[in-house]
Amino acid sequence: MAVLYNVTTSSDQADSVSLGLTGNWNDLGAIAPELPDTISPFIGSLELQAHFESGSDERAMDLLRREWGYMLYTNLSVQSTLLEGFTANGSIGYRSYRGYNYDASYTSHAHGWSSGPTSALTFYVLGLTVTSPQGQTWAVAPHTSGLTAAEGGFETSLGWYGVKWTLSDSAFTISLDVPSETSGTIRLPYEGQTTVNGRSLVISAGAVQLAGGHHDISVQF
C-alpha cells in the first residue's frame, strides 16, 4: 500500500518494498502474512499494481502468472472465472475456519474482487488511463513487461479509448484511438528515431502531446 499510494520517498525505497513482498510468495501466489495459509487475490491485486507502480514489471508479471494462472488452469476451478481465494497449497478451503465450520463449499468461484489484473493490465501493460472526468484528458505509458504486443481499451460517455502496441527487435509501434474532443500524452518506453502519423518528430523527455483522434507512432531503434 505504501508504494501504491505514493508514501515511499524514492524509487529505491519503492523497489525495496517490491522486492520484500516477494518473500511472501510460494509457487501459487502471495500468501497473506496476516492470514497464514491464505492466498487472497483481492489483496494480491493491490500488490500486483504496486509492483507495476514501482517499475518492477517482471515481478508483477511473475505474480500474475503464479496466482491468476493457477486459478485459470487448476481443475479445482471452472477455469474461466476467478476464485475468492485459496489456501497456500492450492485447495479451495479458503478461510473455512473463520465462521464457516470448515465448510469450503461457500467459496465464490466467480469473484469480482479477484479481478485486479483487468485494471492492472489496462493501466500499466497497455498503459492507458484517463486523467480527468469522463476522459477529457488521458495518458498512455506502456510497460512492455517482457511482452511483444498488447491491445485493449475501454469506453466512457465521450466514446472509445483504444491502444494497440507491438515490440520487435528493431521497433516499437503504437496506435491510439480516442475521442476527437479530448487530448493527452503518450510516454514512450523506448528511445530512437520517432515518427508520429508518418512525420519525424524530436521527442522531449520521451513524451508526445496529442489531440484526440487516431494516431500511429513508431520508434526505430
Q: Which residues pair with 216 in a beta bridge?
A: 175
Question: Where would I find the H helices in 33-159?
Answer: 41-53, 57-73, 116-120
Residues 6+ apart with CB under 8 A from 62: none
Cell of 185: 500524452
- Which domains can be identified in the chain, with CATH numbers? 11-117 (no CATH), 127-220 (2.60.420.10)
Task: Give exposure, 41-73, as e/b (b: 16+ Cβ within 10 Å).
Answer: bbbbbbbbbbbbbbebbebbbebbebbbebbee
* pTM, full prediction: 0.92
The one-digit pLDDT tens for each residue of the chain (221 residues) are 999 988 998 999 999 999 999 999 999 999 999 888 999 999 999 999 999 999 999 999 999 999 999 999 999 999 999 999 999 999 987 877 777 787 877 888 999 999 999 999 999 999 999 999 999 999 999 999 999 999 999 999 999 999 999 999 999 999 999 999 999 999 999 999 999 999 998 887 788 999 999 999 999 99
